């Protein structure tokens, strides 16, 4: 099992590098990340959370103690992701993070996102994700930008203060 970085570790606040080499090493890292995520009862994990500064994350949702109502989706390895469109509608939902133990945050996310990414073979995929799966994608995508739930929560609080002041 890989050690999961915790808030306060610098790796979690850095932007990552794009993946340029699709190799057995990348596949092994993905396998190790998936194992670590499953053991920690997560539904997603990003490379920075295991001290790797590359643009890769895994989404693998199923009901568990942390997310009893989570839908079941097969593990999806996401490499070099981009959000190419998103809904104007924002939806509030509770989120946790493997890098912030024992805390939950209410976070606004886009209801749907249109995304483009590569798989472990370098093949490109484009999908529209909705609801809970869109939320997972946006959460993990934030990790690749160096944004944790602390920063995302603070951004939402600051923007709501700004709107109230007008």
Mean pLDDT of 74-101: 96
pLDDT in tens, 4-31: 999 999 999 999 999 999 999 999 999 9
Its pTM stands at: 0.92
Q: Which two tokens stand for residue 41?
A: 């009862």
Nearest to 110 by CA among 87, 77, 82: 87
Mean pLDDT of 156-160: 66
Strand partners, 57: 46, 78
pLDDT in tens, 89-137: 999 999 999 999 889 999 999 999 999 999 999 999 999 999 999 999 9
Domain boundaries, the chain: 10-165
Residue 84, helix vs strand vs coil = strand
CB-based contacts of 21: which residues, under 8 Å, 6+ apart? none
d(CA 32, CA 102): 23
Check whether 76 is labelled as a binding-site residue. Answer: no
pLDDT at res. 130: 96
In the set 140, 151, 158, 163, the catalytic residue is 140
Q: How confident is the prediction for the chain on average, in pLDDT?
A: 92
Check whether 125 is labelled as a binding-site residue. Answer: no
Q: Under CATH, to which class is 10-165 assigned?
A: alpha beta
By DSSP bridging, strand 56-59 and strand 44-46 are: antiparallel
pLDDT at res. 63: 81
Give the confidence band of 62 by pLDDT, cuts at 50, 70, 90.
confident
Mark whether 9 is an active-site residue: no
Check whether 97 is labelled as a binding-site residue. Answer: yes
Residue 64, helix vs strand vs coil = coil
């Amino acid at each position: 099992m890989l050690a999961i970085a915790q808030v306060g570790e610098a790796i979690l606040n850095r932007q990552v590098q794009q993946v340029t080499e699709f190799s057995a090493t990348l596949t092994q890292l993905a396998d190790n990340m998936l194992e670590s995520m499953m053991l920690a009862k997560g539904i997603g994990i990003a490379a920075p959370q295991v001290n790797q500064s590359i643009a890769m994350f895994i989404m693998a949702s199923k009901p568990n103690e942390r997310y009893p109502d989570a839908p079941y989706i097969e593990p999806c390895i996401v490499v070099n992701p981009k959000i190419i469109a998103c809904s104007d509608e924002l939806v509030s939902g509770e989120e946790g993070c493997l890098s912030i133990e024992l805390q939950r945050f209410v976070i606004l996310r886009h209801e749907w996102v249109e995304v483009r990414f590569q798989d472990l073979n370098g093949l490109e995929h484009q999908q529209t994700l909705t609801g809970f799966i869109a939320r997972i994608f946006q959460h993990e995508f934030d990790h690749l930008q160096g944004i944790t739930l602390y920063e995302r929560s603070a951004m939402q609080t600051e923007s709501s203060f700004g709107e109230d002041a007008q």
